[in-house]
Amino acid sequence: MVFTPKQSQGAPAPSSFIDNTGISLKPSYYHEILDQRPTLGFFEIHAENYLSLGGPARYYLQKIRAHYAFTIHGVGLSIGADTPLDQAHLKRIAQLVEDVQPEVFSEHLAWSTHDHTFLNDLLPVAYDQATLNRVCEHIDQLQSTLKRQILMENPSTYFEFHRSDRSEIDFIREMTQRTGCGLLLDINNVEVSCFNHQTNPFDYINGFPGDAVGQIHLAGHTLDENPTIALKIDSHDTPVSNEVWRLYQHTLKTIGDRPTLIERDGNLPTLSILQAEAQQADQIRAQIKQESRHE
């Protein structure tokens, strides 16, 4: 089933993805989106929630796709796994990408499957040569199957490996150079990881290979204030925090404007609240664009 190309429906041109911030698409918003057609740059879906051959997910995706630009975010390919990619799953993902024709397909620098079981979480990888070789091989395979450049997202992490012999940023830079993949810069993940490893998130942004960034994610996190070591948890169930907004502003000043998503997965607010967060991002983007014109 190839979805009707949006151009023939008089739907927004691809510039809506470039210019206006998008939000995560969730089933509880389907009807309101179709009834109200809120102004939003695009919707992002998790690939694994839209692979059914029938039912509401497929049906509403097709309806909403006729009016909006889309991005697809994979959460189950397990690029960082030390076993080969699941070919059947890869094939299903390729079909979805073919059907939806998204602006972007992105995945994570993480692993989530082991020995044919799926752990439903994004688990960390060590930053060493063996992991880099494996991750690059998997990205090559994914890009050649999808016949497009993919974006890889920087992870949120809660510990560092002794065996890592390079920084996360060096690993990501090498991965980008070797595979030609782009990057999805998740600014909440930067805030979470830097807090957890007691490093400076502004330094992280300054060192990040900004030219390769094709999309930005903004999300909320929670704080676990235990007495041994306080940790920030990448929960996606709260509004974007002030720290993340400040870091976002700094990022745009450093690397320039980028398509942006408000990512929300839990404790879902009304659609209008997410829309307001998207507008807040749009205001920051407009302000930075204006400032850069005057420089």
Partner 1 sequence: MNKAFNDALFHQDEAFYKEIKGQSSKEKALRFNVYRNNVYVSLMDALADIFPITQTLVGEDFFRAMAREYLQQNRPKSPIIREYGGTFADFIRAFEPSQSVAFLGDIADLEYKLLTLTHAPEFTPLTHEEVSAAFNHTTDPAKLLIRLSPNTQIMLSCYAIGSIYLAHKQPSEQSLTQLDINNSEHLLLSKSFIYAEMHVISEAEASFIQRLMQDKTLEEAIPDDDTFDTGASLAKLIQWQLITHVSEAAA
Site residues for partner 1 per CB under 8 A: 48-49, 51-57, 59, 75-78, 81-83, 86, 89, 111-121, 123-124, 126, 158-163, 196, 224, 226, 228-229, 231, 233
The SS3 assignment for 32 reads helix
For partner 1, give the closer residue by CB, 160 or 282. Answer: 160
What span, in angstroms and rounded, lies between the C-alpha atoms of 149 and 104? 8
For residue 293, the minimal CB distance to partner 1 (Å) is: 43
For partner 1, give the closer residue by CB, 16 or 235. Answer: 235
For residue 122, the minimal CB distance to partner 1 (Å) is: 8
For partner 1, give the closer residue by CB, 1 or 35. Answer: 1
For partner 1, give the closer residue by CB, 10 or 54. Answer: 54
Task: Give every CB contact of residue 27 below 8 A, 6+ residues apart in sequence.
Answer: 56, 57, 60
For residue 90, the minimal CB distance to partner 1 (Å) is: 11
For partner 1, give the closer residue by CB, 8 or 117. Answer: 117
For partner 1, give the closer residue by CB, 161 or 211. Answer: 161
Task: Give every CB contact of residue 275 below 8 A, 6+ residues apart in sequence.
Answer: 23, 38, 39, 40
For residue 33, the minimal CB distance to partner 1 (Å) is: 17
Strand 260-262, strand 22-24: pairing: parallel
Q: With 0-12 CB in 10 A as exposed, 13-18 as middle and 19+ as buried, what is 73? A: buried
- CB-CB contact of 100 with 64 (8 Å): no
* DSSP state for residue 156 in the 8-state scheme: P
For residue 47, the minimal CB distance to partner 1 (Å) is: 9
What CA–CA distances, in Å, run from 248 to 63, 217, 257, 269? 32, 9, 10, 22
For residue 70, the minimal CB distance to partner 1 (Å) is: 19
Tally the C-alpha atoms within 13 A of residue 56's C-alpha that lie toward its C-beta. 6
For residue 162, the minimal CB distance to partner 1 (Å) is: 6
Residue 130, strand partner residues:
none
For partner 1, give the closer residue by CB, 113 or 275. Answer: 113
Distance of CA 155 to the CA centre of its chain: 10
